[in-house]
Chains A and B, each alone.
Chain A
Amino acid sequence: MDGIKYFGKNIAFLGRALPEAVRISPAFRRRLFKALPFIAMLAAWQMAVRFSGWSPQVFPGPVAVAAGMWELMENGTLLGHAVASLFRVTVGFYLAMLAGIPLGILLGRWQPAAQMLNPAIQFLRPISPLAWIPLAMLWFGIGDPPAIFLIFLSSFFPLTVSTASAAAAIKPVYFHVGANFRFSRIEVLTKIVMPAILPDILTALRISVTIAWLVVVAAEMIAVTSGLGFLILDARNGLRMDYVMDGMIVIGVIGMCLDSLMMRLARFESVCWGTLAS
């Protein structure tokens, strides 16, 4: 945010160059500044379509894609697919949080647990969630469960590892203070460990929610008949590249919204106590 404010000052000349009547407010200027890359992308896309010479079936332009988007929205399929994907991501992600954060705290604060489990975690971590697809389909069949399982796998390990390293890095002096004030075990957990790792967990959540999104699309291409991944695959089979691009755009938009939702959390002082610039 600071960066944007700073650059916002730099583009102040945009406002100054204009006559008084059309001068723009700083808030609008900031918004315009954020929109610039999107405008540039649109322009580049349109140029590429215009000059590449590819047929619209192969490389549809912004207008065709917008028209496709309208069709998909009108008949409700887009909303249905988006909701299906969001549902899977939410469930898988919550499961990963419920399992990964407590496990991470245990690993970070209790040496024997870390010594025992760390090798196993480091062994499982680099295995792509996508490699689990055959097994997941065999175990859980077709439908939501295999997709949820894959999303769980994809976010569980990053969450566990970041929570563990955050919990291990808490300054010992805070525990000394806790001992001095005779904290109970529960108080050590709720008054020291949890608030101390919250900023790092927030960062981990931001990263793993993105990974979860990446995985849901792949999972939906194989194991299910709904969701944005299925939409893309289905559109490809029907040679509707405009629908493919619509699916991509919606994934991007939802990902952006999820991230800004997370960043909104960071604005609470009690969550991030000045560790994150927001």
Chain B
Amino acid sequence: MGHIRIAGVSKGYINRRTVQRSPDTAGCFAGDRIAVLDDIHLEFHDGEMVCILGPSGCGKSTLLRIIAGFEACDRGSVVIDGRTVDGPDREHIFVFQHTALFPWMTVRENVGLGVRHLADRKEQGIRIQEYIEMVELDGFEDRYPHQLSGGMQRRAELARALVVNPETLFLDEPFTGLDFLTHMKMREEVTAMHEFIGKTIVMVTHDIDDALIMGDRIVVMSGRPSHVKLVRKLDFPRPRDFRKSPSLNDLRNEIFLMLGVNYAV
């Protein structure tokens, strides 16, 4: 399971510079709204790794937050597995752009959040350990997040999300702030993990190479107000390398051009 249908989603924000903060938003004029998302229609299939690309500030994170239920859209609807999204849910775990591990909890306690309802303590412990080992953080169970490197924090957060065994996983620019090598390793790990667990993953990124190498499907969005510019299913075998696959390289150039870069290097 993990089928996502986005039908006609639009979203705007009220321009707080011109309109005073007020609890009712209905009474403002059309010009006071900044349209962010404009009539988005998308469909993601079960078990797909979807990468959403777009220029900075185009509303890709907003779209992801709407799909995950953290924000309401003005028009349209998001349906996951036949259920309309109306709020955050344990089945749809969101991994935030900047680390959102609880800094006052150890790695074990953080990862344990997702299985805290399990009555069987022993099984709980086994599950936690299993996922900590999966992201190769064994030996760091009792460390606090500030004692870990950026990449390790990211991995701990992935473990916290995966231990829930969610139907879908949302990653909001999961590799920002990581150094180059950690970025490459995390890319590899997330791809391997996706193949292993087979869940639907929707990832927002600004890195075109990430999207091309990881994605089963890529979505390119335009600048604000944002609409879908391109949806493409990627059937390239993994591991992918755009230097060896001419058609992947062509697609890469096309996307670079689409996002306003003439000479992709």
Please list the residues of chain A having a beta carbon within 8 angstroms of any beta carbon in chain B: 171, 173-174, 176-177, 179-182, 191-192, 195-196, 198, 269-270, 273-275
Does B144 lie within 8 Å of A273, measured CB to CB?
A: yes
A173 with B98: in contact, given A198-B104, A274-B103 (CB under 8 Å)?
yes
Residues of B close to A181: CB separation below 8 A: 90, 113-114, 164
Pick 14 A–B contacts, CB within 8 A, sort by A: A171-B100, A173-B96, A177-B102, A177-B113, A180-B88, A180-B89, A180-B90, A180-B94, A181-B114, A182-B88, A182-B89, A195-B104, A273-B103, A274-B147
A273 with B146: in contact, given A176-B70, A179-B70, A181-B114 (CB under 8 Å)?
yes
Q: Which of A182, A192, A269, A275 contacts B102 (CB 8 A)?
A: A192
Does A177 lie within 8 Å of B146, measured CB to CB?
A: no
Q: Is B255 an interface residue (CB 8 A)?
A: no
Query: Smallest CB-CB separation from A191: which chain B residue?
Result: B102
Q: Which of B68, B104, B114 contacts A196 (CB 8 A)?
A: B104
User: Quick one: which of A191, A192, A273 has the most chain B CB within 10 A?
Assistant: A273
Residues of B close to A171: CB separation below 8 A: 100
Interface of chain B: mostly helix, strand, loop or mixed: loop
Q: Is B9 an interface residue (CB 8 A)?
A: no
Task: Type the 1/0 row for B83-98, where 1 means its CB is closer than 8 Å to any CB of A.
Answer: 0000111101110101
Which 9 A-B pairs give the minimum distances between C-beta atoms? Answer: A274-B146, A195-B104, A179-B88, A273-B103, A173-B100, A273-B104, A180-B88, A177-B100, A181-B113
Task: Name B27-54 residues within 8 Å CB distance of A.
Answer: none
A274 with B144: in contact, given A176-B94, A176-B96 (CB under 8 Å)?
yes
Please list the residues of chain B having a beta carbon within 8 angstroms of any beta carbon in chain A: 68, 70, 87-90, 92-94, 96, 98, 100, 102-105, 113-114, 144-147, 164
Interface of chain A: mostly helix, strand, loop or mixed: helix
Residues of A close to B147: CB separation below 8 A: 274
Does A270 lie within 8 Å of B104, measured CB to CB?
A: yes
Query: Smallest CB-CB separation from A194: which chain B residue?
Result: B104
Instruction: Name 10 extra pairs, CB < 8 A, besides A173-B100, A176-B88, A273-B146.
Output: A177-B96, A179-B88, A180-B88, A180-B90, A195-B104, A195-B105, A198-B104, A273-B145, A274-B146, A274-B147
Residues of B close to A180: CB separation below 8 A: 68, 88-90, 92-94
Residues of B close to A270: CB separation below 8 A: 104-105
CA distance A177 to B100 in the complex (A): 7
Residues of A close to B98: CB separation below 8 A: 173
Does A269 lie within 8 Å of B144, measured CB to CB?
A: yes
Question: Whole-angstrom distance from the CB of A105 to the nearest CB of chain B?
Answer: 16
Residues of B close to A191: CB separation below 8 A: 102, 113
Query: Smallest CB-CB separation from B93: which chain A residue?
Result: A180
CA distance A84 to B96 in the complex (A): 53
CA distance A274 to B146 in the complex (A): 6
Query: Smallest CB-CB separation from A274: which chain B residue?
Result: B146
CA distance A275 to B93 in the complex (A): 28
Does A174 lie within 8 Å of B90, measured CB to CB?
A: no
Question: Whole-angstrom distance from the CB of A190 to the nearest CB of chain B?
Answer: 11
Question: Whole-angstrom distance from the CB of B98 to the nearest CB of chain A?
Answer: 7
Query: Smallest CB-CB separation from A179: which chain B residue?
Result: B88
Query: Smallest CB-CB separation from A269: which chain B residue?
Result: B144
Question: Whole-angstrom distance from the CB of A51 to the nearest CB of chain B?
Answer: 53
Question: Whole-angstrom distance from the CB of A194 to the nearest CB of chain B?
Answer: 9
User: Quick one: which of B70, B100, B104, B113 has the most chain A CB within 10 A?
Assistant: B104
CA distance A191 to B103 in the complex (A): 11
Question: Whole-angstrom distance from the CB of B134 to the nearest CB of chain A?
Answer: 19
Residues of B close to A195: CB separation below 8 A: 102, 104-105
Question: Whole-angstrom distance from the CB of A272 to the nearest CB of chain B?
Answer: 9
User: Quick one: which of B98, B103, B105, B144 has the most chain A CB within 10 A?
Assistant: B103
CA distance A177 to B104 in the complex (A): 14
CA distance A173 to B65 in the complex (A): 12
Residues of A close to B105: CB separation below 8 A: 195, 270
Query: Smallest CB-CB separation from B170: which chain A residue?
Result: A180
Residues of A close to B94: CB separation below 8 A: 176, 180
CA distance A273 to B110 in the complex (A): 13
CA distance A138 to B114 in the complex (A): 57
Question: Whole-angstrom distance from the CB of A12 to the nearest CB of chain B?
Answer: 29
Residues of B close to A198: CB separation below 8 A: 104
Residues of A close to B102: CB separation below 8 A: 174, 177, 191-192, 195
Query: Smallest CB-CB separation from A177: which chain B residue?
Result: B100
Residues of B close to A174: CB separation below 8 A: 100, 102
Question: Whole-angstrom distance from the CB of A255 to the nearest CB of chain B?
Answer: 29
Query: Smallest CB-CB separation from B96: which chain A residue?
Result: A173
CA distance A259 to B89 in the complex (A): 44
Query: Smallest CB-CB separation from B100: which chain A residue?
Result: A173
User: Quick one: which of A177, A182, A192, A196 has the most chain B CB within 10 A?
Assistant: A177
Question: Whole-angstrom distance from the CB of B67 to the nearest CB of chain A?
Answer: 13
